[in-house]
Chain A
């Protein structure tokens, strides 16, 4: 079937000639398959996901077995509930994709032999083999005949006008700027009906596995498994998932999750008024120290929320030696079984600095952080007409006392009774994460309380003293464990959890519990959930 793309793009008619297209050239097993509709399974509705900045950087790097710094070149991703969506698309995105692809292509073709393995002057068959292999990994399925001709046509054009290198450059740019690379293209069968629930094809499963576990595209082994239809069963999927979790790329994949979950992405742009050394280097060291902590707990100790909240482990880079009050050789990162006055992720300098003001601590921000990110409580922003006045900083008045107005003003107290008593528990740590017992010439009072948020009794409430007390209160809480799985769901599927996702949420929780609460158990569990293996067809123009 032949049709014209510009007919659909009515408003762009005047700008460009129509592109005649031969339909059905989508390749792989994403073609129309009526048999994929399944009955009796409910999942929420997703959307055509564009690679996020991080995914783009990782996927391009993995294609060439290199690492590139690309994300700063791309416009930001939109977010929901703190997680990157990859839904927005603008002129700036499209331009950035071209510029980045051209830069990458120029760099990787500097040594053509190393890239193609065809000697200094490649013949066309050898370039054809490269197109097949590279194209399959870029599009995450074998190229269709049309796509192969298109990419080799670019090679021929470049070769004809300039030389082999330019030909390969154009082939690479032609793949990296294609929507088949830039989007996780799960396309509807042509006869799809809105509301249909479809089982994903093997290649679609491979793609989801790779982006979820590695934050990148699939490798050849995963694509081979898809080609051999090994991803049609849960067992086959788990074999691949377990292989992938053994690979170091899964650390990177999990980091993409917790960078968003705990908002660590914001650390890089943070400034501290009284510590010019913070912006950049020190913040980056805090992030590395945090990553080393997570990596050991999750990947070596096979831990879960209990360990993340209560482990005394710390990795201390020399730039944070003062913060941790230990001594570390210059330039080294020291692993310590335990450090005084530190417990779990909540006392990590990265978290403490992130949840502080530019000058001084910020009990409200810290309380809100625990409520929203760790307990999944829903807080309403302050009413728009509220007058917020903080008393001047005067000697002898602690931060805690300065923020006490929230508790006395009834219009604030509704939310701040939930937030402030949690945040006050962090007052032993200043805005850079240093431990302190005196704040602005006043003794620190770090007593706190997690007040019941919604009159539904839960196991994460009670009075505590300091962050150690808070960690002990939360470490075995089912609410905290479930919040973590909820956050992972939001990350994995780029949407809030809805009623239709109930079965998936249950599967996630039981996978985690069956693995003694471990994070890796949850990660292996998500890949066989209903929401992971299926998708729901959205409202379509042809079906009003």
Chain B
């Protein structure tokens, strides 16, 4: 048999993204709601790490709203100079996880950004009494915001993964949803993400123009073929085909947005295996670079980082805890969090994730926008599918906001949202996390007082603004 062709380089050129020149972000005329007070666009970044955290080192150890003393896990953020840009929230509960099917990890991951019950499905979780689950039952907050602020950029949003599972699609592996049952897969190879977003530096402008013109004609033409499917599909299939059609329109919209300016990151040669444990740090660094530049160039305003998956078992053997390298996967360790040695390992792991977050914030803070930086025009929100790994609980979640989204949030603060103390790890004494997403929607100009399942939402959180 003839050797399979890997296809010439020429036509993978360009990806579908825009590319350009200079280092000044594009500015287009925007509705005021999606613009920060400075006139620069607002961005939203979601930063997910799995398996819960360690509350006594996550939440501030002492002090009050502004004179709080950070624990070991968040300390790297302070050390990197971001104390004033943090809004640490105590007393957020993922109350909606009480409804619908799924095990602790499934509901955590699926409700985290949607605040909505999972659909029934055929994936049985690790819990005898939990009904088998499908995907999430509603739009995730990043996509809700992307619908508002992402329509004028070439990419409405970017979903980036670091050792996330791109292939298996289920409630454990997906967090971002266009709508009910419509999961968005994370791109796990930074060089593929780069090719998609930035195309190829060597593309000759005339060649690019030709490619775009050809693509535009094809898109115009191919759209017609969707017509013969109309009224001849089940309602589920129709929704899927509509997503497909929407994807075609989105590519079309992106054509012609090329030309203005920003600088492409230089990533280095593609990684042989971006899924490899050994490459985890390199993949993370590259994804951070792609994301930062994509936002700086205004190619997108909404990015999510998905570290592994819920139940992610990253083996972070380059970290030392208790004087020895960590020898087990993160998820395996998280089940043993009632033991001193394992708890120490979990603190070290979560602290390392904070270090990486600090690197993202630093990169965003380096992009000067008017009197501020890109970070001050953004909110970067750290989320987790569990509060703690052992109990698999969903109350008093380790969530925080960094950056104030152009003045929408008051940062440099630690706010305690629960009015009464928690009696145990499963107590629902806090405010529903759906309320946080209402506040976030409002910060991006969305006129709403509810998000996700309205039974678990009582409106925006006044303490945040």
Interface residues of A (CB under 8 A from B): 3, 5, 8-9, 11-12, 14-16, 19, 21, 23-26, 47-48, 50, 61, 66-70, 73, 75-81, 87-95, 98-99, 102-107, 144, 146-147, 150-151, 153-154, 157-158, 161-162, 166, 169-170, 173-174, 177-180, 182-183, 185, 187-190, 192, 194, 269, 271, 279-280, 378, 380-389, 496, 537-542
Contact = CB atoms under 8 A, between A and B. Distances in A.
Given A24-B228, A79-B168, A177-B222, 9 more contacts: A90-B183, A91-B247, A102-B211, A103-B8, A106-B11, A162-B214, A170-B217, A271-B273, A384-B104
The 5 nearest A-B residue pairs measured at CB: A538-B234, A94-B247, A76-B167, A21-B227, A381-B126
Contact of A382 (B122, B126, B196): B126
Nearest to B245: A9
B365 interface: no
Nearest to B167: A76
B17 to A, nearest CB: 9
B247 A102 contact: no
A5 B230 contact: yes
B156 to A, nearest CB: 7
B247 A106 contact: no
B6 interface: yes
B233 A187 contact: yes
Nearest to A388: B335
Contact of A279 (B1, B196, B273): B273
A540 B185 contact: no
Contact of A538 (B217, B235, B243): B235
Bin the interface of chain B by size: 35 or more
Contact of A537 (B221, B228, B234, B241): B234
18 contacts: A16-B253, A66-B2, A76-B185, A78-B169, A90-B243, A93-B244, A98-B16, A103-B7, A103-B11, A150-B225, A161-B213, A170-B218, A187-B233, A192-B232, A381-B124, A388-B332, A540-B235, A541-B238
A16 B215 CA distance: 16
A188 B232 contact: yes
A86 to B, nearest CB: 10
B214 A170 contact: yes
B220 to A, nearest CB: 9
Contacts of A180: 225, 228
Interface string B154-182: 00100100000011111000000010001
B236 interface: yes
Nearest to A248: B1
Contact of B185 (A21, A69, A92, A185): A92
A88 B105 contact: no
Contacts of B240: 48, 50, 87, 89
Contact of A150 (B183, B215, B224, B251): B224
A174 B390 contact: no
Given A79-B169, A188-B234, A384-B103, A153 B229 contact: no
Interface string B66-107: 000000000000000000000000000000000000011100
Interface string B236-264: 11101111111111111100000000000
B187 interface: yes
B165 to A, nearest CB: 8
Contacts of A387: 335-336, 338, 390
B217 to A, nearest CB: 5
A387 B242 CA distance: 45
A155 B371 CA distance: 52
Contacts of B253: 15-16
B235 A69 contact: no
Contact of B229 (A89, A103, A187): A187
B184 interface: yes
A162 B237 contact: no
B252 A16 contact: yes
Contacts of B156: 91
Contact of A9 (B124, B196, B246, B272): B246
B231 A190 contact: yes
A69 B5 contact: yes
Nearest to A169: B214
Contacts of B318: none
B392 interface: yes
Nearest to A82: B168
A56 to B, nearest CB: 13
A178 B222 contact: yes
B167 A380 contact: no
B36 to A, nearest CB: 23
B230 A3 contact: yes
A16 B185 contact: no
A176 to B, nearest CB: 9
Contact of A383 (B127, B185, B217, B390): B127
A353 B6 CA distance: 28
A271 B317 CA distance: 15
A179 B169 contact: no
